[in-house]
């Protein structure tokens, strides 16, 4: 095991921030196509993301896209190249462990297929939900995790379990061959260097927002205080 890591590490030559920009370009290209445009310029992409157009051209060049002078990037070619670069044109099998309120909401999320995710199983330990289906995904006992991962060559594991169970289930996923883990448990998981971990810290984010608003409210209260 090595030090905990998140998805900030470069992925196939592209950093996390680059991939996030590529996805923004993709959404803008889709919108431009819906509006009837055949091309989209680096200037237009840059203005929407509040970045320099040099950064846009650098990102596009990294995925072998070159724009036409005074016209920009051909929409259809741009969409195709962006989908390929982000892996959206592939199918990646995924499993979810922990079918509580959050797990159920994720199973019911209808856009997974747009990102190349195919849910092939969900796991829990509560007898009352084992054997039921949520959005066509069968809920199985956690004892079947390794078998499903092997049969379906699962690459992605989603963790929505309690904090004290997260590392153990993570270890089981990794040992079975899972390559990427989307972690919603408030714990930094220890994984080998070849396994990607993306942490979603809801509690931490809410704490940051609460702290920020507390500071804003205090500043507002000071501004409203009558002068001495």
Alpha carbon 220 to chain centroid distance? 36
Question: Taking CA 186 as the corner, what is the angle to CA 182 and CA 187, rounded to the nearest 5 degrees?
Answer: 80
97 in the same domain as 138: yes
| Claim to verify: residue 118 and residue 47 sit in the same structural domain | no
Same domain (yes/no): 190, 157: yes
Which whole number is the average pLDDT over 180-198?
A: 93
Tell me the average pLDDT across 12-29.
Answer: 84
**CATH code where residue 130 lies:** 3.40.50.720
The structural domain count of the chain equals: 2
User: Which of the listed residues 68, 86, 104 is the one where a domain comes to its end?
Assistant: 86
Per the domain annotation, does 227 fall within a domain? no
Mean pLDDT of 50-79: 92
Residues 74 and 108 in one domain: no
Q: How far is CA 133 from the centre of its chain?
A: 24
- Cα separation of 62 and 8, whole Å? 18
Nearest-CA neighbor of 156 among 134, 140, 173, 139?
173
* % residues pLDDT > 90 (the chain): 64
Question: What confidence tier does 223 reach under pLDDT thresholds 50, 70, 90?
Answer: low
**Which domain covers residue 60, as residue numbers?**
16-86
3-state secondary structure of 22: helix
Which tens digit of pLDDT belongs to each residue from 159-171? 999 999 999 999 9
By the 8 A CB rule, do 202 and 11 touch? no
Residues 109 and 188 in one domain: yes
Segment among 26-30, 82-86, 149-153, 224-228 with least mean pLDDT: 224-228
151/132 same-domain check? yes
Closest CA to 193 of 2, 12, 15: 2
Q: Are residues 121 and 38 in the same domain?
A: no
Q: β-pairing, 92-97 with 156-159?
A: parallel
The reported pTM is: 0.73
């Amino acid at each position: 095991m090595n030090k905990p890591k998140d998805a900030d590490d470069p992925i196939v030559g592209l950093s996390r921030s680059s991939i996030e920009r590529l996805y923004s370009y993709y959404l803008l290209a889709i919108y431009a196509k819906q509006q009837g445009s055949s091309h989209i310029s680096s200037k237009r992409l840059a203005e929407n993301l509040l970045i320099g157009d040099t950064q846009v051209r650098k990102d596009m060049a990294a995925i072998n896209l070159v724009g036409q002078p005074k016209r920009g990037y051909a929409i259809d070619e741009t969409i195709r190249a962006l989908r390929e670069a982000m892996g959206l044109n592939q199918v990646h099998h995924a499993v979810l462990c922990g079918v509580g309120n959050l797990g159920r909401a994720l199973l019911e999320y209808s856009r997974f297929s747009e990102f190349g995710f195919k849910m092939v199983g969900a796991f829990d330990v509560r007898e009352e939900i084992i054997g039921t289906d949520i959005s066509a995904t069968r809920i199985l006992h956690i004892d079947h995790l390794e078998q499903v991962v092997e049969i379906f060559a699962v690459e992605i594991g989603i963790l929505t379990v309690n904090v004290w169970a997260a590392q153990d289930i993570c270890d089981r996923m990794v040992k079975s061959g899972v390559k990427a883990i989307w972690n919603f448990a408030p714990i930094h998981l220890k994984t080998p260097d070849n396994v990607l971990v993306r942490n979603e810290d809801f509690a931490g984010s809410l704490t940051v927002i609460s702290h920020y608003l507390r500071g804003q409210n205090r500043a507002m209260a000071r501004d409203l205080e009558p002068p001495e």
